Amino acid sequence: MISTHNLPKAGALRDGFKKVGYETDLVTTDESLQDSEAVLLVLTNARLDETESLLRQAREGLRVPVFAISENESLSSTQVSQFDEVFKRSASIADVVLLGGRVIDRQRLRQLTGIIGETDAILQMLERVVQIAPVASTVLVTGESGTGKELVARGIHALSPRRHKPFIAVNVVALSDTLLESELFGHEKGAFTGAIDARKGLFELSDGGTIFLDEIGEMPLATQTKLLRVLEQREFHRVGGEKSIKVDVRIIAATNQDLRQLISIGEFRRDLFFRLNVLNIELPPLRERREDIPLLVESFVREVSEHHDREFPGISAEAMQILSAYSWPGNIRELKNLVESMVVLGPGRVIRPEDIPT
């Protein structure tokens, strides 16, 4: 939903957003905005004397972006800095709708996946997800362990035309070679000891949807060959079967390894790499987005406190500085685990530097 407030050209803008599938709501007071949890974008005028309360609600309550349409061709830098985007009154409806649509998709992505961050690296990554989601191409997500690769895969699926079909995540490294092939492609009755019935694999179960193959670099070469056939011909055989089974599945793969290095030592197929790496998203490690750490801590504290039904007094500024300076080799996963430990086992007062494990 898009909320409009004392907005120039409000009717034309509402019609423009409606044409591309976005519902708009005319908000007359900041209380109306506060009561609406469905708002993804606020459009208002650029007069700060009229919008101060609304800006506060959008920033602190809903945490949604605010666009302004200015009736004045010359705005001060102070006025411009209060908004995420400022358009002149002469701006075309199409331009506002286009940029607004991108921002809304980014907001939806945050809500659907829990991806948190305001650094340039994260905003660029979110924008790339929004661009990639509508197409059917294969995606390779790269980044260190714990950076949120599955969240990104789920976000791509959630914004795609396949969002009403299954999303199935497979951790390649968690399955033995034999079990992995059977899990992915299914098996026929009698294919191996214990196969007392035919069984569909995860590719069949995800037909029409998306399958996420995590730690693809650990996949055995024999299974890589069968995966290549799925990518090239959209078909495969079950283990022990002779019948070709057609599937329509989008494949998103992820790795924390250098696949080119694995190719050079014969552990990963070059042709499979090129089939997987049609579209690429690289996730930054947490040490390269330190400004996001307070936001992540705040979110994790809220989530863990609610889950364990515990009050958490907070974290001192000095302790937060220590968290922000740490290198976080385990990335977001390590940070979340530490926050859970502080909430559950904390001293019952504001966390100080000496309370943080070394």
Write down the domain spans for the chain.
2-110, 120-282, 288-355
Q: What's the confidence (pLDDT) of residue 232?
A: 94
> pTM of the entire structure?
0.80
Residue 318 has a pLDDT of 95
Q: E strands of 154-257, at which residues?
A: 167-171, 210-214, 235-236, 245-246, 250-255
Is-same-fold flag (2-110; 120-282)?
yes
Question: Which residue's structure tokens are 């049609």?
Answer: 278
The alpha carbon of residue 73 and the mean position of all alpha carbons in its chain are separated, in whole angstroms, by: 37
pLDDT at position 49: 60
The token pair at 222 is 């024999």
CATH code 3.40.50.970 for 288-355? no
Per-residue pLDDT, 265: 98
Sequence-distant (≥ 6) Cβ neighbours of residue 8 within 8 angstroms: 45, 69, 71, 89
Q: Show the low-confidence residues of the chain (pLDDT under 50).
A: none
Instruction: Kindly report the number of other CB atoms within 10 A of residue 151's CB atom.
Output: 19
Domain 120-282: assigned CATH number = 3.40.50.300
**pLDDT of the residue at 58:** 67
pLDDT score for 339: 94
- What CATH architecture applies to the domain 2-110? 3-Layer(aba) Sandwich (3.40)
Closest residue by Cα to residue 352 from 304, 317, 300, 311: 317
